[in-house]
Chains A and B, each alone.
Chain A
Amino acid sequence: MSATKRVGSEFRAAWRSFLRRRTAVFFTFFFPVLLVVIFGALVQTQPTGGGLFSEPAGYYLPGYLAVVVLFTPLSRVGSEIARHRDGNRFEKLATTPLKRWEWLLGGTLVNVAVIGLAGLLILGLSILVTGAGIPLAAETLLLVPYVALGVALFCGLGAVIGSLADSQDGVIAASNAVALPLLFLSDTFVTLDLLPEWFRPLVLASPLTYFARGVRAITYGETTPLPVDLGVAPAVGYLLVLAVLSAVLFAVGAALVPRTD
């Protein structure tokens, strides 16, 4: 009960702080709109043309979702850690009952809420602008845990970056350097056949791959078999892998959240 109270207090403070940074709120939601409009409406997909964006529109929906699931938590959590460190907030929090994982969980829940809303916006825009379809099936509800676990995973990674970087500028630079290759080399926008043969196994090293393939299995119906047969449907299997990776990265991130100077 105490932990719930503490996480709740952290969530409320972080949520209010976020909503009152109007520029951050605007661009958090404007970014996915921009993305879908540029790639879904202006560039468009060319199912017969080959190269980039040669798949049907629905294929890229996981990529659009991946953008917000990846970039937003990574930069927000990392920057928040830098802000906390600069303001000696961790020094203060270290003398309260709040535990590091509780602090990270409070921030993660805010990100889940924010990115959940951004994800809904992307789904709606994708349907309206690109014509991508989403099946009306119970399995589609798995998108909720996919987004939540994906956000938790990258909040953990953001915490790692924020804890290791020594400034807010450093956090932004490191976040971009990590996010960009992950975004394009995780079976999101770039199909495997466009990558060199030797590189393809490395795609499995990216946690975003499991998010993208799982979401695609739900929204597009294309299933890439799991590297290891878990005896469950691919959408569930990828979700399980994502859950394990999220737990590991969240734990590592929480352990690295600063406590001392």
Chain B
Amino acid sequence: MDGPTDASAGSGGSELAADSGPPAIAAADVHRSYGDTVALDGVSLSVSRGEVFGLIGPNGAGKTTLVRALTGTTKATGEVQVLGSPPTDVDPQRIGLLPQSFSPPERLTARELVAYYAGLYDEARDPDAVLDDVGLADASDTWYEKLSGGQQRRVCVATALVNDPDVLFLDEPTTGIDPAGRRALWELIEGLAAGGTTVFLTSHAMDEVERLADRVGLLNGGRLVATGAPADLIAEHGGAPRLVVDTAAGSNEVGDVGYPVEATAETLVFHGVDPVDIGQVVAALDAAGVDYGALAWKQPSLEEVYLTLAGERYDRPGGKGDGLGGTGESVPAAASATGGEGTAGDAGGDSR
């Protein structure tokens, strides 16, 4: 394959692996339609060996279809190679897949399920060790249907790890898993990546992708609209940091603090505030006699990037929070999109 076009805007996450043979995953001009619905519209990407690539995008953007195209489980046009071969020709021993909405036989125990998939490979890991990795050693004798939703998903993850794959496709692996379980899985994925496993991950959890992925691709309407390292994408598309102040005061009640200020129903939002200047803003509020409650300083995150590029702004009715629609400012309405109230610790921001 003559080097498919790499839509990446950022640097690869695995410089070491980049020179060790063909990329782990390469796709060029991949198209897939279902009737009149275009699921993939000319997607090109390249994932280096040992890299963790996170794919984000709205529901229906084509993420699962892209995973299927890359694993050869749907018939797409264009060119796809995994480890230098078309996906259907790759040694399955080297590939692991967790499909979205995967539901294995429900009346097998967790151990039996993992052992079942282990039995399909010439070489496989010990099922108990894999269950231990996903934190289910204590539930290995429980039928799948009796496990909680999060435990079920972890068993499914275990089935993708049982052959110790070189390239691992995880389609929304942490859906339904509680925070502790998610973090355990994140550490597991980080460990796999550190060991050289290439991970192709789709997720709706921006914190997950931001933490795990060396590079992120944003798919929207079947097109890969941006790729790059999370930090690069945030710098390019995330907007400026801002200070959100809970107050009923209007913007004209505060003097010039050196930052653009904007009022919503119950907040004042100061854009581009450097953390070291928070005291300056507070002093200005005090000097103006503004009565205020909580303050929250927010860094832009991958979520802002997602909302901006996917065009998924959400302003809550009534304007509570930092919904900024109609201001003419080029600032994404990020925090409100997740229902975040603009208080401490939200969306990756640092609280005061």
Chains A and B are bound partners: yes
Residues of A within 8 A of B (CB): 2, 5-6, 8-10, 12-14, 16-17, 20-21, 86-89, 91-98, 259-261
Q: Does B345 contact A (CB under 8 A)?
A: no
User: Which of chain A's residues have a CB closer than 8 A to the CB of B107?
Assistant: 16-17, 20-21
User: Which of chain B's residues have a CB closer than 8 A to the CB of A259?
Assistant: 73
B window 102-118: CB within 8 A of A = 102-105, 107-108, 112-113, 115-118
Contacts A/B (CB < 8 Å), 21 sampled: A5-B122, A6-B119, A9-B116, A13-B108, A17-B105, A87-B103, A88-B102, A88-B103, A89-B103, A89-B104, A91-B99, A91-B102, A92-B98, A94-B72, A95-B72, A95-B73, A95-B96, A96-B121, A97-B122, A260-B75, A261-B74
Complex: chain B residue closest to A6, CB-CB = B120
User: Which of chain A's residues have a CB closer than 8 A to the CB of B340?
Assistant: none
CB-based contact A97/B119 at 8 Å: no
Cα distance, A5 to B117, chains bound together (Å):
11
Complex: chain A residue closest to B67, CB-CB = A91
CB-based contact A92/B97 at 8 Å: yes
Cα distance, A12 to B100, chains bound together (Å):
25
Residues of B within 8 A of A (CB): 68, 71-75, 92-93, 95-105, 107-108, 112-113, 115-122, 143, 159, 163, 169
Q: Which residue, A9, A87, A93, A96, has most C-beta atoms of chain B within 10 A?
A: A96
User: Which of chain B's residues have a CB closer than 8 A to the CB of A98?
Assistant: 120
User: Which of chain B's residues have a CB closer than 8 A to the CB of A14?
Assistant: 105
Q: Separation in Å of the A255 CB from the closest CB of chain B?
A: 15
User: Which of chain B's residues have a CB closer than 8 A to the CB of A2?
Assistant: 122
CB-based contact A97/B99 at 8 Å: no
Complex: chain B residue closest to A18, CB-CB = B107
User: Which of chain B's residues have a CB closer than 8 A to the CB of A91?
Assistant: 68, 71, 73, 97, 99, 102
CB-based contact B104/A96 at 8 Å: no
CB-based contact B73/A261 at 8 Å: yes
Please name the 6 residue pairs, one residue from A and one from B, whose CB atoms are nearest each other, closest first.
Answer: A9-B119, A87-B103, A20-B107, A13-B116, A88-B99, A95-B97
Q: Separation in Å of the B102 CB from the closest CB of chain A?
A: 5
Given known A87-B103, A91-B73, contact A260–B68 (CB-CB < 8 A):
yes
Cα distance, A151 to B97, chains bound together (Å):
33
Q: Separation in Å of the A153 CB from the closest CB of chain B?
A: 25
CB-based contact B102/A92 at 8 Å: yes
B120 is contacted by which of A9, A20, A21, A87 (Cβ under 8 Å)? A9
CB-based contact B97/A16 at 8 Å: no
Complex: chain A residue closest to B68, CB-CB = A261
CB-based contact A86/B103 at 8 Å: yes
User: Which of chain B's residues have a CB closer than 8 A to the CB of A92?
Assistant: 97-99, 102, 104, 159
B119 is contacted by which of A8, A88, A94 (Cβ under 8 Å)? A8
Q: Separation in Å of the A92 CB from the closest CB of chain B?
A: 5
User: Which of chain A's residues have a CB closer than 8 A to the CB of B68?
Assistant: 91, 260-261
User: Which of chain B's residues have a CB closer than 8 A to the CB of A94?
Assistant: 71-73
A88 is contacted by which of B100, B112, B122 (Cβ under 8 Å)? B100
User: Which of chain A's residues have a CB closer than 8 A to the CB of B71?
Assistant: 91, 94-95
Cα distance, A259 to B88, chains bound together (Å):
11
Cα distance, A87 to B143, chains bound together (Å):
17
User: Which of chain A's residues have a CB closer than 8 A to the CB of B159?
Assistant: 92
Cα distance, A39 to B119, chains bound together (Å):
45
Complex: chain B residue closest to A98, CB-CB = B120
User: Which of chain B's residues have a CB closer than 8 A to the CB of A5?
Assistant: 119, 122
